[in-house]
Amino acid sequence: MSNPKPIIGVLALQGAVELHKAHIEACGAEYLAVKTPAHFAQVDAFILPGGESTTMLKLIERFNLWDSLAKEFSKKPVWGICAGSILMASKVISPAQKAFGLLPITIERNGYGRQLESCHVQILGYEVSFIRAPIITEISDDVEILSQYDNKPVWVQLGNKIASTFHPELNKQYPSPMHKYFVDLVRENA
Amino acid sequence: MGKNSSSSGVINIKTGLAEMLKGGVIMDVVTAEQAKIAEGAGAIAVMALERVPSDIRKDGGVARMSPPDLIEEIMAVSSIPVMAKCRIGHFAEAQLLESIGVDYIDESEVLTPADEEYHINKHDYKVPFVCGAKNLGEALRRIGEGAALMRTKGEPGTGNIVEAVRHMRRINAEIKHVCNIDEAELMTLARDMGAPFELLQLVRKEGKLPVPNFAAGGIATPADAALCMQLGAESVFVGSGIFKSDNPDKFAKAIVKATAHFDDPAIVLEASKELGGVAMRGTEISEIDEPMLMANRGW
């Protein structure tokens, strides 16, 4: 059974939330900014957006959201972008911090350096942005690499869990191929 | 790596970082020790400066860019973005900050201006800039010069939110006005506001500023942060409020909490009860001598 109009929840504790709306709607799905357990239960899938992973992590713990999010993540598709990909990793370095362990990858925070190293690149012929981006430094054999840049995996998938270290949402050509890929996956999973 | 400039239709890399900083609190810090407290409390970024605004008011003298070694120490202990302030028009200080490798430069009226006529040409830099504004014309002039993020000027170091509210409401009202007038009136408005015409056209098309707009200047309580966010600020800068309060760690955490749930009074109330002491003592704007009105610095 495929769900023609799934609800995609963007975790709205902090970060680049609203920019996903136009991309999600262009895929024919529904956008919802979510920050409480009542919201989490309503959505068919999650996007963990770009922002500051330390801030998000602290808010998740301070608002006691860890368990309810972990439970939802275990049964629904999740796509983490930049800071969101850090929250999904099984191991975070530089510095070490807690994560949900949704993907067997090791991720190095700000691996490419500071803002002066931020840049635009083409992935699948679509312009995306690396902003103080993390690097996926280790990856388990069962994780599929959807795209590489500079000989490093930048867009990876295992089952219904996807991580990208770049931002497609800053491009105003809707939808991005990455949003389309994710919404298609959500539809197939429903 | 890839390129620094973007194709049309893609938010540029400088404003891209500002997009990532939405929905959070940027905290003024003077030392690495304070930077650690700020990051631990959940700040999205820290702002390095020589003295917090309330001390600049109290002690007087010329307020300059923070000493480079202090900024480097702050960068060394921070995993979140580090911003630093330079004086209005002091492009050599900006060059130093870019060489140090800070993530954002605030060309700030909090410091003593170096140039009373010209602001920095911010297009010349790879590092992004944030600037303050009291009204739409001023915001668009700064964006015209290359600012990638705007903030209200407010009246820093006072713990008095009235000026930040005035600036946020004024910019909102002027944006609505730009959207409502006849297109034929736009050039006259550009002349009167002293705003670049093309940027005014863009505001009219999008119904908002071309870059994010944060609140700054006088935020001293969780309720102040919630007020600014509900008025349309997309994040808040907190200066003297945190490290001039009784318990900076608790205070910083409370402001972060209130900002994340600015539209839920029950959570803002909870945050207000967790302050761990009283807020900084505030200053009535009319008690300030004219040369120390920071919002009037720059044009």
Q: For B116-130, how does the pLDDT look when each residue is reduced to its tens digit (9 = 90+)?
A: 999 999 999 999 999
**Cα distance between residue A95 and residue A108, in whole Å:** 8
ipTM of the complex: 0.97
Give the list of residues 6+ apart from residue B82 with CB closer than 8 angstroms, or none.
Answer: B35, B45, B46, B48, B71, B74, B75, B102, B103, B104
Residue B82 gets the label, from left (phi > 0), alpha (psi -120 to 50) or beta, of beta
User: What is chain B's mean pLDDT, rounded?
Assistant: 95
pLDDT band at A168 (very low <50, low <70, confident <90, very high): very high
Q: pLDDT tens digits, residue range A105-145?
A: 999 999 999 999 999 999 999 999 999 999 999 999 999 99
pLDDT of residue B6: 77
Within a domain: residue A21?
A: yes
Residues from chain A contacting residue B24 (CB–CB below 8 Å): 14-15, 51-52, 55
pLDDT of residue A40: 98
Task: Please classify residue B290 by burial: count the beta carbons closer than 10 Å to its beta carbon, then call 0-12 exposed, 13-18 middle and 19+ buried.
Answer: exposed
Which strand ranges, in their side-by-side order, compose the sheet holding A135-139? A89-93, A103-108, A135-139
Q: pTM higher than 0.95 for the full model?
A: yes
Within a domain: residue A130?
A: yes
Gap from B290 CA to chain A (nearest CA, Å):
37
Within a domain: residue A184?
A: yes
> CATH number for the domain including A32?
3.40.50.880
**Cα distance between residue B207 and residue B176, in whole Å:** 7
How many angstroms separate the first and last alpha carbons of chain A?
6
**Cα distance between residue B132 and residue B294, in whole Å:** 10
Gap from A82 CA to chain B (nearest CA, Å):
10
pLDDT band at B93 (very low <50, low <70, confident <90, very high): very high
Cβ-contact B87, B106 below 8 angstroms: no
pLDDT band at B183 (very low <50, low <70, confident <90, very high): very high
**CA dist list (Å): A24 to A42, A156, B54:** 16, 20, 45
**Cα distance between residue A37 and residue A18, in whole Å:** 19
Q: Is the pLDDT of residue B111 over 90?
A: yes
Within a domain: residue A1?
A: no
Buried b (16+ CB within 10 A) or exposed e, A61-94: eebebeebbeebbeebbbbbbbbbbbbbbeebbe
A26 touches chain B (CB under 8 A): no
CB contact under 8 A, A14 and B9: no
Q: Is the pLDDT of residue B3 over 90?
A: no
pLDDT of residue B288: 92
Three-state SS at B185: helix
Q: Which residues pair with A136 in a beta bridge?
A: A107
Give the list of residues 6+ apart from residue B198 with CB closer than 8 angstroms, or none.
Answer: none
**Cα distance between residue B245 and residue B278, in whole Å:** 7
Task: Give the count of domains, chain A.
Answer: 1
Within a domain: residue A131?
A: yes
Q: Pick from B3, B7, B10, B44 the residue to mutate for testing the A interface (most A CBs within 10 Å).
A: B10
Within a domain: residue A149?
A: yes
Within a domain: residue A158?
A: yes
Cβ-contact B89, B119 below 8 angstroms: yes
pLDDT of residue B67: 96
- B85 an active-site residue? yes
**Cα distance between residue B246 and residue B275, in whole Å:** 9
Q: pLDDT tens digits, residue range B240-278?
A: 889 888 899 999 999 999 999 999 999 999 999 998 778
Range of the domain at A92: 7-188
The single-letter code of the amino acid at B37 is: I
Q: Is the pLDDT of residue B1 over 60?
A: no
Q: Is the pLDDT of residue A43 over 80?
A: yes
Q: Chain B residues with CB-CB distance to A under 8 A?
A: 1-7, 9-11, 13, 16-17, 19-24, 39, 41-45, 79-81, 98, 101-104, 126-128, 253, 256-257, 260-261
Question: What token pair was written down for A1?
Answer: 């059974």
Q: What is the 3-state secondary structure (H, E, C) of B91-157?
A: HHHHHHHHHHCCCEEEEECCCCCCCCCCCCCHHHCCCCEEEEECCHHHHHHHHHCCCCEEEECCCCC
**Cα distance between residue A58 and residue A83, in whole Å:** 13
